[in-house]
Structure 1
Amino acid sequence: MAAARLTLSVLVLILAAATLTEGLRGAGPKRCCFRFNENEVPVDNVVGYVRTSQRCSKSAILLQTVARRSLCVRPSAPWVKELISHLDAKSVQGERSNL
C-alpha cells in the first residue's frame, strides 16, 4: 500500500512539474514559415517586412505587400537582401524628413 502511494505521489509531482514548465515557456511564435516564395517580388509591391521569431525552426522574412498579403521569403536570397536594404533606407529617409 505504501509503495502505491509513493508511486502515485511521484507521478503527481512529475505531472505538476511538467505543467509548470510548459506554462513558463509561454506562447509560441505568432507566425513561422515552412514554405517559401522563391520568385522575386518587385520593390513597388512591398510596403514592409517582419523577421520571424528566433523560436521558429527556419529563419524567414515575412514581406507585406500592397495587396495586404504576407509572403514568406528566405533571408539569405540576394534579392531579399537588396529589398530589405531598400526598405530600410526608405524608412530612415522618411523618418529624417519628418523631423
Structure 2
Amino acid sequence: MRTLMSVMFLVLFCSVQMASSAVISIAVAQSRCCTEFSDVKIPVKLVESYFWTSSSCDRRAIVFQTKSGKQICVDPDTTWVSGHVDKLDKKTKV
C-alpha cells in the first residue's frame, strides 16, 4: 500500500512538472523582443495569428505568425498593421 501511494505521488508530481514547463515555454515564446521591424507588407491571407511583445521590451511590437511558421516583427504604428490585426481578431471571434 505504501509503495502504491509513493508511485501515485511520483506520477502526480511528474505530470504537474510537465504541465508547468509547457506553460513556461509558451510564455517564453511569446515574450520575445524585436530588435528590428520588417518593412514589407505581409499579405493578410498568409498571416495565421499575432501577439504583442512584452511590455518589458525596449520597443513594443506586434509579431505576426505566418501559416508557414515564420514570426515577423512589425511596428504597430504602421498603417496596414491595424487592418491586419482587426481582420485576425474578427476571424478568431467567429
TM-score when normalising by structure 2:
0.66
Task: Give distance in 2, aligned partners of 1:77 and 1:87.
Answer: 16
Letter in 2 for 1:42: P
Task: Give distance in 2, aligned partners of 1:52 and 1:30.
Answer: 6
Kindly indicate whether residue 63 of structure 2 is the aligned counterpart of residue 62 of structure 1: yes
TM-score when normalising by structure 1:
0.63
Task: Give distance in 1, aligned partners of 2:38 and 2:72.
Answer: 7
Task: Give distance in 2, aligned partners of 1:81 and 1:75.
Answer: 7
Asked which structure has the greater CA Rg, the reply is: 1
Q: How many residues are paired up?
A: 66
- Structure 1: gaps spanning 5 or more residues: 1-26, 94-99
Q: What residue number does 1:36 align with?
A: 37
Cα deviation code 1:20-43 (max 9, x no counterpart): xxxxxxx9x831001100110001
Letter in 1 for 2:71: S
Cα deviation code 1:31-84 (max 9, x no counterpart): 100110011000110000010000000010110001101000011111110000
Identity of aligned residues (%): 35
RMSD after superposition:
1.6
| Paired residue secondary structure (1:82) | helix
- Structure 2: gaps spanning 5 or more residues: 1-27
| Paired residue secondary structure (2:56) | coil
| Paired residue secondary structure (1:53) | coil
